[in-house]
Amino acid sequence: MRHSDEHAAWMRLALHEAHGALASGDVPVGAVVLDAAGRVVGRGRNERELHQDPTLHAEVVAIREAAAATGDWHLTGCTLVVTLEPCVMCAGAIVAARIPRVVFGAWDEKAGAAGSLYDVLRDRRLNHRVEVVSGVDEAECGRLLTEFFEDPLRRPAGPTATR
């Protein structure tokens, strides 16, 4: 799908969230959930290091906030925008929340579940499929992650820390 100015504007919001994750030493991934009118109803950034919780990926944080804000776990009119391709856990949460569209920036060749390693979001065997718009501001999203992992003072502990 062709990227629009709207997608780019949304990605700037997600990038703002990603930068916020740096303060806690978390991998800089950010996400926003927009309702059908384009209003932000959920924001999230990686908070695994901050709260020592492996489930606190940016997408999960944003989805939880959006469900609370709308009063409904069915996010059927919403769009999730995230700086990095969702992993399997996040793809599962997206499908469970019935989010119809995901816009992401950088591909995740090691753990992506929206077309690179897996394609959970568009798997016809599941009860819900998601429209995927990839590569929006890919260079900026990728640069932020590359710089984070190249800086030994910011890199998270552990030999397999990728997200």
User: What does the alpha-carbon distance between residue 67 and residue 42 come to, in Å, rounded to a whole number?
Assistant: 8
Buried b (16+ CB within 10 A) or exposed e, 6-38: ebeebbebbbebbebbbeebbbbbbbbbbbeee
**Signed CA dihedral, 96, 99, 104, 107: sign only:** positive
Which candidate in 17, 47, 59, 85 is catalytic?
59
Contact 146, 109 (CB under 8 A): no
- Known catalytic membership, residue 59: yes
Q: How far apart are CA 112 and CA 152, in angstroms?
A: 24
Among candidate residues 21, 144, 65, the one with its CA nearest the CA of residue 80? 65
Catalytic center residues: 59
